[in-house]
Amino acid sequence: MTHPAVLTENLTRVYAARRSATTVTALDSVSLRIEHGEVHGLLGPNGAGKSTLMKLLSTVLLPTSGRAEVCGHDVVTATKAVRPLISVVFGGERGLYPRLSARQNLMYWAALYGVCGRVAATRVEELLDRFDLRDRASDRVETYSAGMRQRLHLARGLIGNPRVLLLDEPTNALDPAAALRLRQTITEIAAQGRTILIATHDMHEAEHICDRVSLIDHGRLIATESPHALVTRVQVPTLEDAYLSLVGPSS
């Protein structure tokens, strides 16, 4: 494949505030190229524009200027081609029907990606097994722990067999052991050739699972390189130190 998994060129998004003339430039001329099979971390303080980038790539938000491609398809003009290739997973409680079971949630989501009938049932059971949810698959999601819910989120993200998985803070509610397992899973998913874009505030996590990271601040891309290269360049011991020295301790 000659097209990268994700390509952005001067991607810019400006939000107009409601009932006022002020605007917020959430993403400012970001150019980024992410190859297939890469785990790419998005780092940056609150409000840096990480989620905005995810939304632009997942076609739920339109850019103000610049462009973005997923596997060579433009997110604005070729929306129909992009949607089957991507999947978004947001962290936390949201994104599932709490009164339905894991199996019911997954079956519905499979259908949304055009996966139906026996194929869907097989894939759902595989994912339930893989994410250790089989025993509780018929229970209502509202009775799940945060960790189980997070795993279900990831299973939901994979149900459509996406080429590119967008994970927005997927480990923010997990205990250290659960977060570790999730990281291992993310690495496995990438090993299957899928591309993962992961927004996180956990520098330790980013250092361990990301092939490369992008540092964003105030909508601007201030660095894109491997965690190791970044640490070496800034001449600090850890990625967290590199982050703090580039973004500043408070912003």
Ligand X SMILES: Nc1ncnc2c1ncn2[C@@H]1O[C@H](COP(=O)(O)OP(=O)(O)OP(=O)(O)O)[C@@H](O)[C@H]1O
With CB under 6 A as the contact rule, which of the stretches 48-56, 66-74, 106-114, 202-210 interacts with ligand X? Answer: 48-56
Nearest residue (CB) to Mg ion, 51 versus 214? 51
Q: How far is the CB of 29 from ligand X (least distance, A)?
A: 15
Whether the CA torsion 44, 49, 55, 58 is positive or negative: it is negative
- Interface with other proteins: number of residues (CB under 8 A): 37
By the rule CB under 6 A, 58 interacts with ligand X: no
Shortest separation between residue 110's beta carbon and other proteins, angstroms: 8
Looking only at residues 154 through 183 of this chain, which bind other proteins when binding is defined by CB under 8 A? Answer: 160
Q: Are 150 and 170 in contact (CB under 8 A)?
A: yes
Q: Is 46 in the site for ligand X (CB under 6 A)?
A: yes
Interface with Mg ion (CB under 5 A): 51
Q: Give the tokens for residue 74.
A: 């433009």
Contact pattern for other proteins over residues 34 through 73, marking x by CB under 8 A: ---------------------x--xxxxx-----------
Closer CB to other proteins, residue 72 or residue 241?
Answer: 72
Relative to beta strand 164-168, strand 195-199 is parallel
Secondary element (H or E) of residue 1? none
* Segment interacting with other proteins, rule: CB under 8 A, options 3-11, 85-93, 197-205, 230-238: 85-93
Nearest approach, Cβ of residue 193 and other proteins (Å): 20
Query: Do residues 67 and 76 make contact, with C-beta atoms less than 8 angstroms apart?
Result: yes
- Which of 91/227 has CB closer to Mg ion? 91
Strands (E), the chain: 6-16, 23-34, 39-43, 65-70, 73-74, 86-90, 164-168, 195-199, 212-217, 220-225
**What are the structure tokens assigned to 35, written together?**
């190859």
Which tokens go with 84?
């089957």
Q: Rounded to the nearest 5 degrees, what angle is found at the Cα of 221, between the Cα atoms of 213 and 1?
A: 60
